[in-house]
Each structure stands twice: as C-alpha cells, then as structure tokens.
Amino acid sequence: MVMLGRVGRAFDADEQARLARALPAIGVARTAFGAVFEPQPEPLAPRGWSARVGDWLDERLGGERVIAEVRGQAATLVVRDRAGQREMVAQDAEGEMVWTRVALDDPARSGWPYVDLLHLAATRARRRRRALFVGLGGGVAMRQFARTYPGIRLDVVERDPMVVALARAHFRLDDIPQLRVVVEDGARFVRRAPAAHWDVVVVDAYDAGRPAADMAQRPFFAALHRATRPGGAVAINLVSALDAPSLGQLVHRLSRRFDDVRLAPVVVANERYRADARRNVVVTAVRR
C-alpha cells in the first residue's frame, strides 16, 4: 500500500488515475533496486540471551553457526545462521551456492531482492486464488504470498526430499497456511498437472542459471502454458547476464506460448551497470 497526502486540496480524478498507472512501475523499481519496506517482525523462534549474544559475536567476527548438514541428491545441504540471517546452502566440489537467505527476526523477509520480484506474477495475474511454486528452498516466497494474498492456496513441488525436511525443521515451513508440498521432479509434475489449474506459477529451480534440460525445452513451456489459467501469469527466476544467449533462448521459447514477456533484473543502487554481469533476472509472462 502507498499512502499519499497533500496540503491545500485533494487529488482530482485525473491525478488519481495517473498515480494508479504509475504504481506498478514504482513497485518494480523499488524491488529491482533492493529498496523495500520491512514487514512487522515474526521471529523464526524465540531467541534467548545467549543466542542473541552469539548472533552479535557472529556478525562482528564474521563467524557463523551451522545448524544442520545433510547429503542431498546433488550436493551437501547446510543450514547456517550468519549475520542475523538463516541460510540454506548447497555445497559441492565447485563451491557453494546460497539457495535461501531469510532474516532471523522475520521468516518472510528474504536476503535476496529477487524474491520480491516474484510478486510481479501475482500482480499481473487476473486472480490470485491458487499458486504453484516449482522449487522450495526455505519457503520464504511462499510465506510472503500467504501473508500478502490472504486465502491463496499454495502448491509447491520440490524434487529433493532433504530440502523439504530442512525447510520443515529449520524454516517453519508447516506454519505457512494452505500450503501443500509434493516431492517430485518439477517438469514431470507440471506435465501431469490439470489444465488451467493455477493463477500464478513461480519457477525458482534454475541452479545458477543452468536449468535442467527438461525445464529449458519447448515441451516444458507448453505444459506450463496448459497448467496456467487464462489471465494467469508466470515468473521464472534465473541467474544470468542480460546479454547471455541462453537467456535470449529462454525468452524466445517462453514467448511462443505466453504473451507480454518482460525481464526484471536485480540492480543494486551503487553498481555500475553492465549487460554482461551475472545477476538474478526474473522473467514474467501472461497467459491471455
């Protein structure tokens, strides 16, 4: 919500209409540049005096507290607290990638600005009654949707059961209302899904910009289109340079099935923009 005021006279109908037309662009600009309002706190768990002291020391000494470590399907999954945030990290021989970063004092506040951009699909959809998420992580996006769109039904498909177990144990996944979790390959689940079933579909399962082969091909986008209700919208998050051929190919294939495909890159306010710099890019599209 945006509240506007004026001294001297009220906004007339033309001014109100112009402001209403500007709000979507203002919202995109705020989230793309990392400038977002902080919601009211809802702690992950009660924090005792010793835990708060430990967090303070971790933040200042650059340390971290490992909460859990398990072997997943493709990498070792680590849950850790660091600098006031809880992270789920995938580690393999090539290094590590942070899948989820969420504030300890509010499990709906992500440390990644791109999560706020996933709401573009919800704002572009005609209705927001049911949403599908392909890829779970720590469930922060689902928690945001449940809070922002009361009553929305949420379906999540995640291929790795260990991710689901960690999200339930350490990210309060089961506290999210009207959430259903399915453990299955995302592309296979979408192919089997009922037609015109979801108003909003969020795909956040592209590992470092390298989607699984079956989630980058035309059949996947055809199945995605069939499963999205008319008037619905999709959001796809990936890590890519804006001038990367793979991003252009994905946009081309998505455009063959959906309308009004748009790119919303995450750009921080003080960076020097480069088209070849890798960044989170949220691709949105609408099914007319």
* Residue bearing tokens 């990290």: 89
Stretch 152-174: mean pLDDT: 95
pLDDT, tens only, 47-83: 555 555 555 555 554 568 999 999 866 789 999 999 8
Q: What is the pTM of this model?
A: 0.78
Q: For residues 284 and 251, is the Cβ–Cβ distance under 8 A?
A: no
Residue 178 burial class via C-beta count within 10 angstroms: exposed 0-12, middle 13-18, buried 19 and up: middle
241-254 residues labelled b (16+ CB within 10 A) or e (exposed): bbebeebeebbebb
Smallest Cα–Cα separation from 157: which of 130, 117, 188?
188
pLDDT of 39: 46
Strands (DSSP E) found in 130-227: 130-134, 153-158, 179-183, 198-203
Q: What is the DSSP letter of 16?
A: H
pLDDT, tens only, 109-147: 999 999 999 999 999 999 999 999 999 999 999 999 999
264-280 residues labelled b (16+ CB within 10 A) or e (exposed): bbbbeeeeeeeeeeebb
